[in-house]
Amino acid sequence: MAVEAQGAEEGGLVFHPMDQFIVKPLFGGSEVGMFTITNVTLWMFLAVLAVVALMVLGTSRRAIIPSRTQSVGELAYGFVYKMVEDVAGKDALAFFPYIMTLFMFIVFANFLGLIPMSFTTTSHFAVTVVLALLVFVTVTVVGFVKNGSKFLGLFWVASAPLALRPVLAVIEVISYFVRPVSHSIRLAGNLMAGHAVIKVFAGFAAIAVVSPISVVAITAMYGLEILVSFIQAYVFTILTCVYLKDALHPSH
Amino acid sequence: MATVTTEAAGEYGADAAASAPGMPQLNFDHWGNQIFWLLITLAVIYFVLSRIALPRIAAVLAERQGTITNDLAKAEELKRQAGEAEQAYDKALADARAEAQNIIAEAKAEIAAELKVATDKADAEIAARTAESEKAISEIRAGALDNVKEVARDTAEALVTALGGRADSAAIDAAVAERTKG
């Protein structure tokens, strides 16, 4: 889809590891406007379909003894539910649907991105920055609504010596505002790097002698990427829970 | 190794002619499009999950938990009943054994009593019969002695008569009694 032809089109080795990330209109034209239907639209739509298939169609029989799909759906539910409960506490369960939405979207976008020729929506900073900012804004608003000005106690380390507290407060404030940056760059960076490395290995496959090594390397990278896809979704979700815990219980 | 050519803007083709060299991620012209579709996607997923999927899964899990709890309680109840039944069975068995022992002892005692009665009765009968027999024998013996005396007296009378004397019955009786005494 978004992937250009690789390899020796002009005689030598030509690498286009980043071409897979180009946003393109789906139905011709070259302008990408706000509402243009692009490959982003397609792959996000597929992610929605996958979520619906697993969580709605898969559980439609409401069986006491679950089918395989229902089992996986319940597993995902239990996984995130327990994470929210354990990390952020019982009172964070009101945010469970929101966190579940983030997790399901990221995990499916990541895995759909592993399909050859597909487009990885979560490898784009535009996407992850919005996701991270949504979390950041939610957490900050919830923190102030629930705790009022006590939420600022998050930055005032009461257990530290008084002389150190202003310094620590500055560090805490900086780290608080860096959160959305690291939160978003971690996800997009991991996916982008992995996919780009696979493309680079694929580029080397144009040399006949190197191609077996290239294939083995791509296979290995692909396995690693499967891990990364899940782990990054997990990391994003659990960090959201951690931030939410800070908002609900700001004391150190 | 050939040199690794980095992406030049021209390599992207007509679609992305405007994109910055390097990462398409940093082409801010496309951010609006991505953010727009992302927000729609998140809204749809949130709606589907919070309205349909999550309540349904929660209900299924609760129902399953309920079923498991019920089944466990039922199993516990059945186990308790089985235990009670076993105890009742053991008790009934012990009772039956005790009763059997009683019945055997009673029967033994009864039989012994009956046997004793029967033996006593038989003994008494035997004693009575013996006494009766002895009496009969002594009667017979007495009868025989009287007969002997009679015969002796008759014979003595006949002898006295034959010898020409006159039979003195008193003397004969005395003589017979004298001779038959020993």
pLDDT in tens, B80-106: 999 999 999 999 999 999 999 999 999
CA A87 from chain center: how many Å?
19
Tokens 């990427």 identify what position?
Answer: A225
**B13 touching A (Cβ < 8 Å):** yes
Query: In chain A, what residues touch B40 (CB-CB under 8 Å)?
Result: 44
Q: Are A4 and B13 in contact (CB under 8 A)?
A: yes
Which residues 31-60 of B are in CB contact (within 8 Å) with A? 31-42, 44-46, 48-50, 52-54, 56-60
Contact between residue B56 and residue A59 where contact means Cβ atoms under 8 Å apart: yes
Residue from the list B34, B37, B60 with its beta carbon closest to the beta carbon of A62: B60
Helices B54-162 and A96-112, axial angle in degrees (round to 10):
100
In which residue are the tokens 């805490």 written? A172
Question: If contacts are CB pairs under 8 Å, which of residues 67-86 in chain B contact chain A?
Answer: 67
Confidence of residue B182 (pLDDT cuts 50, 70, 90): low
Q: Give the separation between CA A194 and CA A197, rounded to whole angstroms.
A: 5
CA dist B150 → A117, B146, B162, B182 (Å):
160, 6, 18, 16
> H or E element: which one contains B114?
helix B54-162
- Structure tokens of A237? 């979700």
For residue A55, how many other CB atoms are within 10 A of its CB? 26
Mean pLDDT of chain B: 85
Contact B9, A18 (CB under 8 A): no
Q: How far is A173 from chain B (nearest CA, A)?
A: 27
Of B11, B9, B37, the closest CA to residue A25 belongs to B37
Spatial CA neighbour of A130 closest among B179, B36, B158: B36
Question: Phi, psi at residue A25, to the nearest 5°?
Answer: -65, 145
CA A45, distance to chain mean position in Å, is: 16
First to last CA, chain A: 49
So what's the pLDDT on residue B120?
95
Q: What is the pLDDT of residues A70-94, one digit of tens each?
A: 999 999 999 999 999 999 999 999 9
Q: What is the average pLDDT across A157-178?
A: 89
Q: B35-63 as b/e, with b when 16 or more CB fall inside 10 Å? A: bbbbeebbebbbebbeeebbebbeebeee
Between B27, B37, B54, which is nearest A97 by CB?
B54
Neighbours of A98 (CB within 10 A): 19
User: Whose structure tokens read 């609760």?
Assistant: B62
ipTM, two decimals = 0.87
d(CA B77, CA B90): 20
Query: pLDDT tens digits for A131-166?
Result: 999 999 999 999 999 988 888 888 888 888 888 888
